[in-house]
Structure 1
Amino acid sequence: MIHNLAADVQAFTSNAFLVDGDRTTLVDAGANFDIVPSIAERVDDLDALVLTHTHPDHVGNLPDVVESFGVDVWGFDPEGDGVDHAIPDEGTVTIGDDEYLALHTPGHKDDHLCFYSRAAGVLFAGDLVFPNGGFGRTDLAEGDRATLIESIERVEAAVDDDLGELHAGHGPSVARNAYSHIELASEAARHTP
């Protein structure tokens, strides 16, 4: 089961997905709200915190989660603040009950990862693509539109077109025609000025 712990938060934050299972995992920690009680009311323990990238809105709550649950943090760049273990490009990571392929997808931020499980039919897209053709901004440090387009195209090629769920870093999750949202984002990123 995937729970977005930031779904009703009014503060500026990313989504924070709690995935329970054999390896109960938090995908991104969010920021500017007290996430610890939300985790504790759903699970007894947390096995891992996995990051799509280290922008402040995705890692603001990281210290509180680590302190409260004694959990290790996984991300692309172990040199990044708070990241304990590296997840390499095309490496695998267990999230909940499923194995996910990690795809290095820079363009929004250099350390950006997307996580895709063919078996579960789930993509955690971070800030690469959003519902309805949205895509990550490239006007921040490390942002680059051409690189972002390449990353979107990489995910578009890697993901099955019968994708069941798309969980983005912001906004609602998509559970119908999820792949079409990646296609729309790819098209929009190539043609939006």
Structure 2
Amino acid sequence: MTSLPKDPWFTITALDKDTYAISEYGHWEKVHSYLILGTERAALIDTGTGIDHMKRVTDQLTSLPIIVLTTHVHWDHIGSHGEYDNIWVHEAEEQWLVQGIPGLSIEQIRHDVSRDITKPLPLDFSAASYEPFRGEPSGLLRDQDPIELGNRQLTVFHTPGHSPGHLSFLDQSRGYLFTGDLLYSDTPIYAFYPTTEPAALVSSLERISDLRGVTKIYGGHNKLGLEPELLVEVRQAVQELRERNCIRHGTGIHNFRGFSVHF
């Protein structure tokens, strides 16, 4: 592809000729979704906020059948799930996808989806009528599952903490590690909600810090593309958090070089 689609809401970035970031920089969370092309099918990691229609973009980038891989079932990562037929989630969040997250009010979601917008909103978007996607998944993902795309394979890692069924994905051929809301820069990683588990989050961070062959880290928010050296900082942060005995709700924000966490 010689030129990328220009879109009023989404920003499309080619990470290489077969991998794209689809970003929503007009929203305060600066959400990223990722389209990964194989020779037989494509994987779409998350579908963004749902403020605008992601399928409009993916239709311009590929004619391959698309499987949607959900890092976790928070509204800002499943917004366009209803536009795709083949949706997969971790088994621990199947009921969240079907029924919604217990205790999270629609008023809070509508407030969060519509605040601090810096780009013109689509004409058909209304915060007052916004509803997070709900529906049955096509299938369930488990730790270490392979995702075959044809000449390209992703490996599923169950990395809970931010949510019980949070997943990360490693592109084995290129070393891209897609970390969703487990690891990103600029704003704290959230582990202070009742549905989060600080100890599980730290164990998940430790797990990805031990992965070999990672060439780039692609998180779900903020800066697009982090260097693999960050995993060394993650490993040291895990040790420090354990030594300080602060891995529990209510201990606040903990800052490290390149990232922070909020318990």
- Kindly report which structure 2 residues correspond to 1:153-164, keeping only aligned pairs within 5 A, or say none: 153-157=206-210, 159-160=211-212, 162-164=213-215
**Alignment check: 8 A CA contact 1:128 1:135 kept:** no
Cα deviation, 1:141-179, whole Å, max 9, x if unaligned, reads 32121111101111112x21x42121111123326xx32
Shift of residue 113 of structure 1? 0.7
The change in CA–CA distance for 1:156 and 1:142 in structure 2 (over 3 A counts) is: same
Per-residue CA deviation, residues 115-141 of structure 1 (Å, 9 max, x unaligned), is 113332111111111147x76310123
- Is 1:131–1:174's contact at 8 Å kept on the other side of the alignment? no
Which residue is equivalent to 2:158?
A: 104
Supply the distance in 2 between the matched residues of 1:96 and 1:122 (Cα, whole angstroms): 17
CA distance in 2, matches of 1:46, 1:11: 31
- Go from structure 1 to structure 2 and tell me whether the alpha carbon gap of 1:13 and 1:96 turns closer, same or farther (over 3 Å shift): farther
Match of 2:217 among 146, 160, 166: 166
Which residue of structure 2 lines up, in the alignment, with residue 14 of structure 1? 31
Q: Secondary structure at the match of 1:119?
A: coil
Gaps of 5+ in 1: none
Instruction: Please show how residues 168-187 of structure 1 align to structure 2 within 5 Å.
Output: 168-174=219-225, 178-187=227-236
RMSD between aligned residues: 2.4
The amino acid across from 2:65 in the alignment is: L
What is the CA-CA distance between 1:17 and the residue it aligns to?
0.7
Structure 1 distance, partners of 2:88, 2:169, is 12
Superposition pairs of residues 40-79 of structure 1, within 5 angstroms: 40-63=59-82, 65-66=83-84, 71-77=85-91, 78-79=94-95
TM-score (norm 2): 0.62
Distance verdict in 2 for CA 1:97–1:47, change over 3 Å: farther
Larger radius of gyration: 2
What corresponds to 1:3 in structure 2?
20
Q: 1:47 to 1:55 in 2, by over 3 A?
A: same
Alignment partners' CA distance in 2, 1:96 and 1:123 = 18
Question: How is 1:86-97 mapped onto 2 (pairs within 5 angstroms)?
Answer: 86-95=140-149, 97=151
Q: For the residues of structure 2 that align with 1:135 and 1:99, how far apart are their CA atoms?
A: 30
Distance in 2, matches of 1:135 and 1:151, equals 16
Q: Structure 2: which 5+ residue stretches go unaligned?
A: 1-17, 98-134, 242-253, 255-262
Distance 2:45 2:150 in 1: 10
Identity among equivalent positions (%) equals: 21
